[in-house]
Amino acid sequence: MNEAASVALSPETVLAQMKQNGVTDVVWLPDSETNWLYLLMQAEPSLRLIGVNREGHACSIAAGLAAGGRKPLILIQNTGMMESGDSIRGWLLGLNVPVVMMVGYRGWTRHGITTDTAATYTERFLMAFGLDYYLVESDADAPRITVAFEEAARTKRPVVVLVGDEYHGFNR
């Protein structure tokens, strides 16, 4: 394992967090970085995958799943999260849905100037909506995902996990 892979957030770790926290359904819109996770989720019989073609749809679907007793996870990218603003407001915050949103942090970097405006506005967006969030970048950060699930359940609100470095560990 090279150094980059050893510090990455592995898809196996993400899947283990989903199972540990009782996720039943993953409502998601794939991006180029999550294919490895997709293959793992597809092979996991305890998960139902619900693919959407616009991220706001994930919010209303998750609200319906939660109303019926399921435990959904939303898996999208930051660009789509920003597109979903009104759905987050109405379907998740408005209906007090305790859901974790795992959001790929496109453009985020610790190494110099942020040039991707998707990253520029991500945390500002979350602050504007009053959404708590946790950043995960490597397997060592994975327990923060469980913290997010626990906070969502306690507060009956959506809680965001920002996946830094865009799952680059998945490209192997």
Partner 1 sequence: MMRIAEALEAFRAYREAAIVVPGRGGRYWVEQTDRPELDVPLGDPAMGGHAGFALGLALARPERKLVLFDSEGDILMSLGMLATIAEQAPANFYHFLLDNECYATTGGQPVPNAKNLAYDRMALAAGYPRAHAFDEIADFARELPAILQRSGPVLVWLKVYPEVENAPIGRRRRWQTRSRDQVLADLRGALGVPAP
Instruction: Return residues touching partner 1 (CB under 8 A).
Output: 25, 27, 48, 50-54, 56-72, 86-87, 89-91, 94-98, 153, 156
To the nearest whole angstrom, how small is the minimum distance from the Cβ of residue 109 to partner 1?
31
To the nearest whole angstrom, how small is the minimum distance from the Cβ of residue 16 to partner 1?
22
Of the pair 147, 153, the CB lying nearest partner 1 is at 153
User: From CA 69, how far away is CA 94, in angstroms rounded?
Assistant: 18
Count CA within 13 A, CB hemisphere, residue 130: 6
Of the pair 156, 172, the CB lying nearest partner 1 is at 156
Of the pair 48, 168, the CB lying nearest partner 1 is at 48
Which residues have a Cβ under 8 Å from the Cβ of 31 and sit 6 or more positions away?
77, 104, 106, 166
To the nearest whole angstrom, how small is the minimum distance from the Cβ of residue 130 to partner 1?
16
To the nearest whole angstrom, how small is the minimum distance from the Cβ of residue 51 to partner 1?
7
To the nearest whole angstrom, how small is the minimum distance from the Cβ of residue 133 to partner 1?
20
Of the pair 15, 27, the CB lying nearest partner 1 is at 27
Tokens of residue 62, six digits: 């998750």
Of the pair 52, 126, the CB lying nearest partner 1 is at 52
